[in-house]
């Protein structure tokens, strides 16, 4: 038989969160994975009721008592749990009754769903982004070739015109061809790959804040919520300023269209995340930058397509800002997400704080 110390070591090294409850649903044991998932210390919550760790529905509590009394195991899918610190979490959990030392116990295994759902959403977003890139490149090729021919023909025609005044018409053709070419180039995003160098993320956010404050003449309230301990991020300074400026300017314009700017607020928040997965790569440390505004929110009919080129919630908008931002963040091996409801819209940028993924 394996020694108790070795069995305890196995439990401590499991990535699955494991709780052991007594017949009164008080905590008797939790492994480090459970401590990390529930954001508590096992020693501090020892012998506390399960409701002190998290709460589920009344029906789920009845199922736990029934499992103790009748020995019936069960599994619950996509339970919405409220943790002791007030945060919510979606999880699956399995409950197995155990009889040991003449007592009834419940072994509970927790499987967080939030992370899985997020990764699935990220993969779908990255896949759509790649499809969009291919479509835009193909469209750009098909547009720019004829535009070059139109522009060249207009220049040749201008040389043959008998009157100088008629050149006004060929000038319009040339100018419009150039405008369309520039529009297509904007859809393709930056011409060059990012020139990476260590930079403080707050240098980027403060530069963007100063630009927006200048545009609004200080009428818009911008709140800073920074983590000063964030290490330097490897980034292209100018490109990252452009990416963040596009988001903050969109928020400012949405607030201006919704009412007086003085009633609006934009919050810039920075934090670090540990062991975070972007695409197929897991990073030990990631910088998270959030842009939060209290505007009207993104219209539901375009919420799923806001990162596509030419999609805009404003009649006068070009629909290129978020597409360019996504392209820049992608070139930095990062990720951009958006959550929006009326009264609060949050754009979140995730940027790796290392060049290589964690093993």
pLDDT score for 311: 61
What are the backbone angles phi and psi of residue 59, rounded to the nearest 5°? -65, -35
Rounded Cα–Cα distance for residues 281 and 355 (Å): 11
Angle at which helices 321-331 and 237-258 cross, to 10°? 150
Ranges in the chain annotated CATH 3.30.450.20: 4-113
| Average pLDDT score, the chain | 85
Q: What is the pLDDT of residues 79-95, one digit of tens each?
A: 888 888 777 888 999 99
Q: What is the pLDDT of residues 212-221, one digit of tens each?
A: 999 998 899 9
Confidence of residue 358 (pLDDT cuts 50, 70, 90): very low
Cβ–Cβ under 8 Å, residues 157 and 295: no
Average pLDDT over residues 279-285: 82
- Please state, for a pLDDT cut of 90, what percent of the chain lies above it: 40
Average pLDDT over residues 302-308: 75
pLDDT score for 213: 92
Using alpha carbons, select from 115, 116, 66, 117 the residue that is nearest to residue 95.
66
Q: What is the pLDDT of residues 229-274, one digit of tens each?
A: 999 999 999 999 999 999 999 999 999 988 899 899 999 999 998 8
Ranges in the chain annotated CATH 3.30.565.10: 194-358
pLDDT score for 359: 43
Bridging pattern class, strands 74-83 and 54-55: antiparallel
Rounded Cα–Cα distance for residues 75 and 53 (Å): 19
Average pLDDT over residues 345-349: 95
Q: Running DSSP on this structure, what letter comes out for residue 296?
A: S
pLDDT score for 357: 44
Tokens 């290392």 -> residue: 354
Residues 151, 153, 158, 160, Cα dihedral to 10°: 170
Confidence of residue 25 (pLDDT cuts 50, 70, 90): very high
- Other C-beta atoms within 10 Å of 157: how many? 14
Average pLDDT over residues 281-304: 89
Rounded Cα–Cα distance for residues 279 and 277 (Å): 6
Cβ–Cβ under 8 Å, residues 231 and 285: yes
Overall pTM surpassing 0.85 (yes/no): no
Say which residues have a Cβ less than 8 Å from residue 48's Cβ, sequence separation at least 6.
26, 27
Q: What is the CATH number of domain 4-113?
A: 3.30.450.20
Rounded to 5°, the CA angle 298-299-303 comes to: 70
Tokens found for residue 155: 């220049």
Q: What is the CATH number of domain 194-358?
A: 3.30.565.10
Beta bridge partners of 118: none
Cβ–Cβ under 8 Å, residues 184 and 144: yes
Cα–Cα distance list, 190 to 83, 186, 235, 242 (Å):
43, 8, 14, 10
Q: What is the pLDDT of residues 62-80, one digit of tens each?
A: 999 999 999 999 999 888 8
For 71: left if phi > 0, alpha if psi spans -120 to 50, otherwise beta; the answer is left
């Amino acid at each position: 038989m394996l020694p108790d110390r070795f069995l305890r070591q196995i439990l401590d090294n499991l990535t699955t969160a494991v709780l052991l409850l007594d017949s009164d649903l008080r905590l008797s044991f939790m492994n480090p994975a459970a401590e990390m998932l529930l954001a508590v210390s096992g020693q501090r919550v020892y012998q506390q009721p399960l409701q002190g760790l998290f709460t589920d529905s009344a029906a789920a509590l009845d199922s736990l008592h029934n499992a103790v009394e009748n020995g019936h195991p069960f599994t619950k899918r996509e339970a919405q749990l409220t943790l002791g610190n007030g945060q919510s979490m979606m999880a699956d959990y399995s409950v197995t009754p155990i009889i040991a030392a003449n007592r009834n116990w419940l072994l509970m295994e927790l499987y967080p769903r939030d992370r899985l759902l997020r990764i699935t959403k990220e993969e779908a977003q990255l896949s759509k982004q790649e499809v969009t890139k291919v479509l835009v490149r193909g469209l750009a090729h098909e547009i720019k070739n004829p535009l070059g021919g139109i522009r060249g023909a207009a220049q040749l025609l201008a040389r043959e015109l008998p009157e100088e005044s008629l050149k006004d018409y060929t000038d319009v053709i040339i100018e419009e061809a150039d405008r369309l070419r520039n529009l297509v180039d904007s859809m393709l995003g930056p011409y060059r790959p990012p020139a990476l160098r260590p930079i403080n993320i707050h240098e980027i956010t403060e530069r963007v804040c100063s630009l927006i404050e200048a545009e609004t003449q200080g009428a818009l309230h911008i709140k800073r919520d920074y983590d000063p301990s964030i290490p330097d991020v490897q980034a292209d300074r100018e490109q990252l300023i452009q990416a963040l400026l596009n988001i903050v300017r969109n928020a400012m314009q949405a607030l201006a269209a919704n009412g007086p700017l003085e009633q609006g607020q934009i919050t810039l928040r920075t934090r670090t995340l540990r062991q975070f997965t972007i695409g197929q790569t897991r990073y030990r440390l990631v910088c998270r930058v959030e842009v939060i505004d209290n505007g009207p929110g993104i219209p539901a009919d375009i919420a799923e397509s806001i990162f596509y080129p030419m999609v805009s919630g404003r009649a006068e908008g070009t629909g290129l800002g978020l597409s360019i931002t996504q392209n820049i963040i992608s070139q930095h091996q990062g990720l951009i997400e958006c959550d929006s409801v009326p009264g609060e819209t949050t754009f979140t940028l995730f940027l790796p704080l290392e060049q290589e993924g964690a093993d």
